[in-house]
């Protein structure tokens, strides 16, 4: 009888946790970057400072050394909008890092910033990518 109660409790708890957690999105199901240079607005309706200044150009981020090797990105902005991210260093080809860079690029383009979540299982690559991306964006706005 005690075993049945323990098994039932564990099953209910496991189901609750599974239903409470958000499922992972596959790269194809993730949000694509919006088409065109529509400016983002704040709750007050104002455009972001980046969009107001209309920064355009190509900016290279710092090389970030990680446990998986160096990571460096170059970004292209058109009228303040992040349009292209090119990975100069960091195309890691084994384990979870193998598909991390394309997923990180897709997330960054959709978010239009470096404020993105790391790819699970590719923490070092993700941290290096995000740091290099942020340094490139900082250079664009200096």
> Per residue in 31-85, pLDDT tens?
444 444 444 433 333 334 444 467 899 999 999 998 888 999 999 999 989 999 9
| Beta-strand runs (E) in 2-139 | 57-60, 64-66, 69-78, 81-89
Check whether 109 has a pLDDT greater than 60: yes
φ and ψ at residue 91, rounded to 5 degrees: -75, 80
Return the pLDDT at 78: 93
Full-prediction pTM beyond 0.75? no
- Average pLDDT on 106-112 reads 95
What are the CB-based long-range contacts (under 8 Å, 24+) for 10-14? none
CATH code 3.90.1010.20 for 47-140: yes
How wide is the angle at C-alpha 47 spanned by C-alphas 33 and 79, nearest 5°? 60
On whether the CB atoms of residues 121 and 104 are closer than 8 A, the answer is no
Return the pLDDT at 93: 65
Positive/negative CA dihedral, 106, 107, 112, 116? negative
On whether the CB atoms of residues 35 and 110 are closer than 8 A, the answer is no
- Average pLDDT on 98-122 reads 92
Return the pLDDT at 25: 43
What's the rounded Cα separation, in Å, for the pair 106 and 84?
10
Check whether 27 has a pLDDT greater than 90: no
**Which pLDDT band, with edges at 50, 70 and 90, does 26 fall under?**
very low
């Amino acid at each position: 009888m005690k075993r049945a109660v323990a098994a039932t409790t564990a099953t209910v708890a496991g189901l609750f946790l599974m239903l409470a957690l958000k499922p992972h999105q596959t790269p194809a199901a993730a949000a694509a970057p919006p088409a065109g240079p529509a400016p983002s607005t704040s709750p007050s309706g104002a455009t972001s400072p980046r969009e107001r200044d209309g920064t355009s150009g190509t900016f290279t981020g710092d090389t970030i050394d990680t446990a998986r090797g160096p990571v460096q990105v170059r970004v292209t902005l058109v009228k303040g909008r992040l349009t292209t991210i090119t990975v100069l260093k960091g195309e890691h080809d084994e384990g979870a890092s193998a598909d991390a860079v394309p997923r990180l690029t897709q997330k960054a383009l959709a978010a239009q910033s470096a404020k993105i979540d790391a790819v699970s299982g590719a923490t070092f690559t993700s941290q290096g990518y995000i740091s290099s991306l942020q340094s490139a964006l900082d250079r664009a706005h200096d």
